[in-house]
């Protein structure tokens, strides 16, 4: 497995396209740092840090606004190199992917040779530095690339997996963030070796069944997940920061309308439909709530989706009045499966049996002899089902 990860992606694209930025600390973003060049990272600037704090840490910092079209174009070019490298590519985000090169020995050489060539190709064809981790499993390859950054290549040799893994801090494990790390530290668990030796039951008790088992497996380098080609996203969303202070409800509604418009446009461009609309709100105190609504039949109708979104906002309005609203977001999920072109329906597994059972009970209880069966496709208020003759 190869894990290929572009270094400081957005910032690197900026430095590639503007020679005056090379060798200087660069941050992409404004209010918040979206990406920092290695020169900026050297003075402590980090992704997700506020712009003000970043400037304090690094007085020479050059802050540039994002040029997302350029990043998308660069990403496309890099993924073309990936596609030329292996038919088994799984994109993880705009700037990283897994490549399964296990079957390419005869035609392309060893994984290390393939990885070296990949780095050269990305450098020559796209002008960006990329770090590659090579290991027998996805997880280990990802850890290897993280350790090898920037502009590196790291191979975890077969048989040496646990020696490589065990001394690393728990934060290196995929799925350990701030909260889990704090829980683990509280129990004196600091390294991967500590996690591995703790035992699965103790981890499950601490972190829940899924996370506990997941972590235990990773700590023992058990990661059977294959590279999955052509994964489709499960949701499409958008959000907008509103700034502090009070906002007129009309402005909030207008923001939501704009958001829905943008997101539905992307839904259409992807040629997909959705069944669930989720409204996200965030408040002054960083508290957040979500409100969602699902319809039975997937739709891409912008009017219908906007109506649902506005209704969710109306329902959430009482809490908006009490707490300062700072962010509004919308997400469309339960996307249809585009392979069949058929919207995915809930209850799809056994509707016929359910209907037969209901009919049997009607006969039994009421002695009904003529029964009309219909299929109800919606349950929104105001929706009426057509009745069909038996």
Partner DNA sequence: TCTGGGGTCCTAGGACCC
Q: Which of 297, 381, 358, 364 is nearest to 373 (CA)?
A: 358
Which residues does 175 contact at the CB level (< 8 Å), separation at least 6? 211, 214, 215, 218
Verify whether residue 96 is a known catalytic residue.
yes
Q: How far is the CB of 390 from DNA (least distance, A)?
A: 17
CA distance 82 to 75: 10
CB closer to DNA, 108 vs 345 = 345
Pair of tokens at residue 361: 């009970």
Q: Rule CB under 7 A: is residue 44 a binding residue for DNA?
A: no
User: Which of the following is catalytic: 80, 96, 171, 315?
Assistant: 96
Please pick, from the candidates 48, 158, 370, 388, the single residue that binds DNA as defined by CB under 7 A. Answer: 48
First-last CA distance in the chain: 57
Please pick, from the candidates 168, 202, 211, 252, the single residue that binds DNA as defined by CB under 7 A. Answer: 211
Span 128-147, contacts to DNA by CB under 7 A: 142
Q: Which stretch binds DNA (CB under 7 A): 109-117, 119-127, 189-197, 350-358?
A: 350-358
Please pick, from the candidates 11, 115, 256, 331, the single residue that binds DNA as defined by CB under 7 A. Answer: 331
Q: Rule CB under 7 A: is residue 362 a binding residue for DNA?
A: no
CB closer to DNA, 162 vs 316 = 316
Q: Which stretch binds DNA (CB under 7 A): 11-19, 112-120, 122-130, 328-336?
A: 328-336
Please pick, from the candidates 23, 44, 208, 258, the single residue that binds DNA as defined by CB under 7 A. Answer: 208
Q: Which of 330, 311, 320, 306 is nearest to 249 (CA)?
A: 320
Range 85-114 burial, b when 16+ CB lie within 10 A, else e: bbebbbbeebbbbbbbbeebeeeeeebeeb
Q: How far is the CB of 113 from DNA (least distance, A)?
A: 26
Q: Give the bridge partners for 332, in sequence order.
A: 236, 277
CA distance 148 to 366: 73
Number of residues that bind DNA (CB under 7 A): 68
Q: Which stretch binds DNA (CB under 7 A): 118-126, 176-184, 194-202, 365-373?
A: 176-184
- Could you list the residues that contact DNA (CB under 7 A)? 29, 31-32, 34, 47-50, 52-53, 92-96, 142, 173-181, 208-211, 233-241, 243-244, 266, 275-276, 286, 288-294, 296, 326-327, 329, 331, 333-334, 346-350, 353-355, 357-358
């Amino acid at each position: 497995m190869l894990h290929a990860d572009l270094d400081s992606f957005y910032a690197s694209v900026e430095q590639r396209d503007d020679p005056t930025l090379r060798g200087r600390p660069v941050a992409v973003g404004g209010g918040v740092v979206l990406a920092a060049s290695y020169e900026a990272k050297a003075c402590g600037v980090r992704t997700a840090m506020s712009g003000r704090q970043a400037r304090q840490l690094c007085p020479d910092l050059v802050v540039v606004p994002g040029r997302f079209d350029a990043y998308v174009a660069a990403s496309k070019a890099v993924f073309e190199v990936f596609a030329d490298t292996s038919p088994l590519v799984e994109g993880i985000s705009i700037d990283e992917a897994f490549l399964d090169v296990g079957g390419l020995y005869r035609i392309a050489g060893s994984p290390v040779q393939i990885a070296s060539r990949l780095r050269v190709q990305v450098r020559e064809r796209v002008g960006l530095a990329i770090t590659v981790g090579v290991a027998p499993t996805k997880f280990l390859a990802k850890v290897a690339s993280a350790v090898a950054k920037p502009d590196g290549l790291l191979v975890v040799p077969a048989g040496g997996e646990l020696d490589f893994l065990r001394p690393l801090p728990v934060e290196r494990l995929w799925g350990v963030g701030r909260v889990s790390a704090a829980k683990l530290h509280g129990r004196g668990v600091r390294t991967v070796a500590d996690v591995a030796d703790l035992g699965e039951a103790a981890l499950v008790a601490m972190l829940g069944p899924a996370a506990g088992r997941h972590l235990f497996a990773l700590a023992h380098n058990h990661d059977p997940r294959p590279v999955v080609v052509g994964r489709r996203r499960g949701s499409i969303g958008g959000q907008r920061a509103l700034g502090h202070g009070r906002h007129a409800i009309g402005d909030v509604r207008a923001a939501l309308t704009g958001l829905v418009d943008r997101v539905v446009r992307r839904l259409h461009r992807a040629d997909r439909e959705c069944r669930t609309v989720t409204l996200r709100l965030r408040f002054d105190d960083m508290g957040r709530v979500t409100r969602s609504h699902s319809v039975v039949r997937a739709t891409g109708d912008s009017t219908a989706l906007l109506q649902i979104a506005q209704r969710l906002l109306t329902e959430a309005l009482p809490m908006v009045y009490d707490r300062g609203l700072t962010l509004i977001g919308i997400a469309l999920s339960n996307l249809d499966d585009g392979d069949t072109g058929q919207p995915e329906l809930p209850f799809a597994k056994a509707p016929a049996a359910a209907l037969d059972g209901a009919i049997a009970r009607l006969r039994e209880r009421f002695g009904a002899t003529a029964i009309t069966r219909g299929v109800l496709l919606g349950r929104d208020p105001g929706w009426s089902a057509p009745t069909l003759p038996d």
